Amino acid sequence: MSSSKTEECPICEENLQQKEDSITTSCGHKFHRQCAEKRLRETNKSDCRVCQRPSALQDALRINEDIIENECPICEENLQKNEDLVTTSCGHKFHRQCAEKRLRETNKSDCRVCQRPSALQDALRINEDIIENECPICEENLQKNEDLLTTSCGHVFHRQCAEERLRETNKSDCRLCQEPFALLDALRLNLTKSQNADTFSYTKQDHQEHNVSCFIAA
């Protein structure tokens, strides 16, 4: 009988239970939602408690709110969860209509917040019924209703293709631009949303070392 080490909340250092209200940051670390909110409220610190990624706690909490704390960086009005929104690969949210208008009228496709090139264009493309790009691994068309994965560098893959490449070749970089660990990080981010999330696990040390072996069948 194998004993798996239970993951702890990096703030309160108590065990994270599967049924508890938890959040996962963009850097892949999991916290009790209540602990994250308390840290943000009492210390005004929004970075990840583990790896110090800026605004990681704030962004993770924002994604889980019915009313998103941020305003749309284009029109500067509040973002509501039930509105038609797009999220860029750099984690910033916009009204879809505002993003389309900016792209159409100014021909600017970069993120309005951090100026990541093509971020708006890529985010809008992901929301189309048929995405213009092909999967860089299998070279087949990407459909909106398929299980897709977007890397931090803004490239879109079939999730299954990304998993197979990682498993069979041990390569975790982006197939297009060779950004290190891009596939690995994108897969890790999607674990909590995946139907197969319970079949994988990874440790803090694995994450810090970006070791491909962090994807271990349970």
Q: Which CATH superfamily is domain 8-64 in?
A: Zinc/RING finger domain, C3HC4 (zinc finger) (3.30.40.10)
The 10s digit of each residue's pLDDT in 149-194 is: 888 777 888 889 999 998 888 888 888 888 888 888 888 876 644 4
Domain ranges of the chain: 8-64, 69-127, 134-218
Q: Which CATH superfamily is domain 69-127 in?
A: Zinc/RING finger domain, C3HC4 (zinc finger) (3.30.40.10)
pTM value surpassing 0.85:
no
**What is the 8-class DSSP label of residue 213?**
G
The 10s digit of each residue's pLDDT in 63-89 is: 655 444 568 889 988 877 677 888 787
Q: Domain 134-218 class?
A: alpha beta
Expressed in percent and rounded to 5, the helix, strand and coil fractions of the chain are 30, 20, 50
**What SS3 state is found at 169?**
helix
